[in-house]
A and B are shown apart, each in its own frame.
Chain A
Amino acid sequence: MLSRLKTALRALLRRTQVERELDEELRYHIERQTEQNFRLGMSPEEARDAASKVFGGVEQAKERSRDARGVRWVEELWQDLRYGLRMLLRYRGFTAVAMLTLALGIGANTAIFSVVNSVLLRSLPYQDPERIVRVRNANGGLTTQVPISEPEFNEYRNQSQSFDQVAAYVVFPNNLTGINEPERVLTAATSSGFFPALGVRMELGRPYSSEEDQRGRNGVVVLSHRLWQRHFSADPNLIGKAITLNGRSRTVIGITPPGFGFPSDKVDAWTPAAINPASTNTGAHYLDVIARLRPGRDLDQAKAELKVAVDRIKQRFPEYYKGAEGFTARVVPLREEIIGDIRPALLVLFGSVGFILLIACANVANLLLARATVRQKEVAVRTALGASRGRILRQLLTESLLLSVLGGAFGLLLAYWGVRFLVAERPPALPRIDEINIDGWALGFTMLVSLLTGMIFGLAPALYASKPDLNGSLKEGGRGGAESVGRNRARGLLVVSQVTLSVVLLVGAGLMIKSFWRLMRVNPGYNPENVLTLRLSLPGGTPYQQAIAFYQQLTQRAAALPGAQAAAIVSQLPLDAPRANVSFEVEGQPSEFNNDDDPVADFNTISSDYFLTMGIPLLHGRSFTDRDNAQSPTVAIVSQSLARRIWPGEDPIGKRIRLTEGTPWMSIVGVAPDLKNQALNAVARQEIYVPYVQANFGQNQNFTPYTIGLVARAALDPASLSGAIRGEVRALDKSLPVYDIKPMERIVADSVSQPHFTTLLLAGFAGIALILVTVGVYGVISYSVAQRTREIGIRKALGAQTRDVMTLFVGQGLALALIGVAIGSVVAFALTRVMTRLLYEVSATDAATFIAVPLLITTVSLMACYVPVRRAVKIDPMIALRHE
């Protein structure tokens, strides 16, 4: 009804005016009644008296009129809010502490929830992402995950029963020239099934077809949305134009949708790989393969099918796969691959912030409990004025909700900044970084948490406060006596639970810190200090001689630079990429070729100064020299664990190994120490090193690397060499891109970025928890001591020593803390086993941590108790006795 709405709006917006009118209306009535009474013979005062009495209490009448307007509850809510705000401003200290506490708890929760939601929960931004899988090769004995070769890929693709699409890709950098400034663009060369496998639709244009995925016809390219916007200013007519990649002209045929970035968000261009379907290049393993499961097919069926493909391939190339009986294909859901690594860490973090929120709520609950007592007088007065218990309850609850909503808003701001900061840092540990943002879900979550905290910690104190002992409160000194046992118990319970939670959190953080500390002290076997690394790739098809010559000149010139002490090249930089893996034969030890025990090792091709540059001291024999060239006898260096395993107790120098039948035997000339080449926290792997100049074993066995890492040791700062080395590369070949220039130490740091990230955050949370708990214990003890100031005065007046009084009070606080610590230790003991996967060489029940943390918390609680008690005890007993 329109009029109802009008009345309601008017009542809300023009309240003073409406009130005034009501007043005037009733006053008019009273005047007329007064006149009538006067005319009937009463005196003026009697007349007026009788007139207002007829109303039956003007205030009540007004109330009933106001009620009749029907918008009462809104007016009351508005009243409550204003009153609540005034109260919050009045007790500024309390409000500040409470809001900050809540903001920390809610902010941390929202930030981590956003991350968890974006990374773990949200599905990948592809069509039907659960059906996309990664196909990997694996080698039975060692769980290596070797890239895939062209013949293998072709075989998998032909096996198309379980898959709708099978696609391969490889990523490498390209030089983009021609339009605007030259730029280095990370390119993925993919087979034609790539975009269909992901289910991606082009923003503009189209993906390439299978016809275009052939040699000679693949002069097309699909660009990323980001590149299109940044480099080409979102030119809508770009489709059909030509750009130059690595000197080769390509026509742009499509632009990907914004936010798309597979296999990594740094890829900006996709070209057809034009893989030869009849390729016999079994030696080069460089492809990654994804596939889309056909509807109705599951992983097991796919795995079984791939096994058939693997068998077939082994039959086609028996010489290559001889001794590789452990070779299988593996199928992993893509999602698992991307997030599997970080999931346990994120879940631990998520649990931790939950703890923080609980601690924060306990803090604020205690604060509110304390304040409820303070406001008892006010509540009593309001009850006497006629407010119903429900009304008072409602007002107090509104006040706490107001507090928690404000705290939540502040927390959201903190979370926003926190997430922005996190994304800007781009920790390598966190996948799907571009997809992280504060989204609607996080907002809803924050609101829910805010309101729940408002209700939970607002309810109990509100119930306490609205149950006034009217008489007691209104009397003089009413405040001191009314401390109920229940309230004390509640406060004690809150403190104990706070301490418990923080013990668990701190133990977890302590374990992580210790583990990370151990990790950082792992000796990788090489000296990463002052070493600069970079990567470059020669264009495929570079003739062998040309490649060799290039490498030789490059290493010579790099080593000759002023400021450089040594330089070398290596097929795979340590810690930076999956290792190439081969099986090999040992002379004199006939291998049973259908055995999983066949020796396998990681295979590295290096230049002669590699060990020198990396600071690796050889254990036996010698390193490679310039005399080991293409004409001299083939040699190899093995790692110590390999030597020990193959020739236990013997000197490996002079023994011979070879890769497969048909390849030349290599003599061992040196033994290198075990290195951490794959990961710092993994067991050192068995390695074979071969001079790159000797790595060409023939047509199908050409291990000469076309993508290499260059390492250079600088006398001082490795970054100082980067410009010079780039200059040398440019001098040798102008169009050759050089990329991933970083100090070796950076590579080492990146390899532990996940534990680094987790440890940092967890330590931060533990720090927050410790502060919150300290504030909580301090607050409770201060308050309790303030309440009992009189008692302290009495005790001292009766002759108690300061020390005794202090022991009494501090002891009570300490008792609470100790209970919390005890319970917390037990709970931590039970819970930390979920962290085992994250820990490196630290047990989940590490004794040192489980002793240190309780000790720390007890000490901190002791100090938090001591300070307020000491202050209170120093008060002159005469003043204390008069304290109310």
Chain B
Amino acid sequence: MTHTPRPTARPLIDRYVADVARRLPAPLRADVGEELRAGLLDAIDDRRAADPALTPEQAERAAVAALGDPAVLADGYLPERRYVIGPAYYDEWSTLLRTLLAIVPATAATASLVIGLWADDAGFFGVLGDAVWLGLVVAVNIAFWVTVTFWLLERSGTPLRDGEPRPWHPDDLPPAAPERTITVADLAWGVAVGAIGIGWVLWQHYRPLIQGPSGDRFEVLDPALWPEWAWGLIGVLALGVVAEVIGFAIGRWTLAVTAFSVFTDLAIAAYVVVLVQRQELVNPALVALADNDVVTGANIERVVLLGVVIAAAISIVDAVKGHVRDRRAPA
């Protein structure tokens, strides 16, 4: 068969055949092109025979229109798939992507936050901004590379599992979910931690424990915090205890329980961070007393910020994990 396209007196047909042919691999182009051209010319003859009033141009246009979108027609000839990731690979891709995106960006951001707080004096919100940005960059990279990998797997037809896939068996079912996932132990722990925190704030103010060389007693927290800021701190801690009680009352990590718990964790963390930023957390007299190369005011602030971030992160992760687990198994 000829390999050069024969020009005809039918420019529309030429354009159509060219548009289909360019989407096809080289071996198919000439053959498919010739076949389509013959079919189109036959169609024009038939239409004009059926309706002599039709002009050649009208018949040509109708014949081409009847074949339809060149992209769709070309797709019919191609073994190539018009999707990025197909049904065989979609579930694996989706699961892997969701798992990685749930864990890695948050971990990277928290690590960046921790390292930033330890190293820099850039201020908390600068470090926080950097951490959030890092989390975003990590997330985008994960999404891209996982998708590209699966795209390659799809195109190469690589099987995902070795050997035959194991058929599902009723024993594979997960065990029944308990009605109550937030236990008395959880409540006791949460209330105890909150109570100890509040109690410590009060105790160290009214009966300071730390004794200086000259016999004075020093509070740990800055006395200037009293009364408003200190009671605000107690209030926020109390809110955390309320969250624990509500969680226990409802018994499962519902969306409301989780949201409120995360909110109180963030509120406590934010409150302490603000105090640290205003340089009003630790008793300056105490800092002056202990001042040496290691125990500086700045270092104490770093330790406090780190502690707050880590504690909040742990608590939030627990809440979210609990929510994901409980959401999968409806009561």
Q: Do A and B come from one complex?
A: no
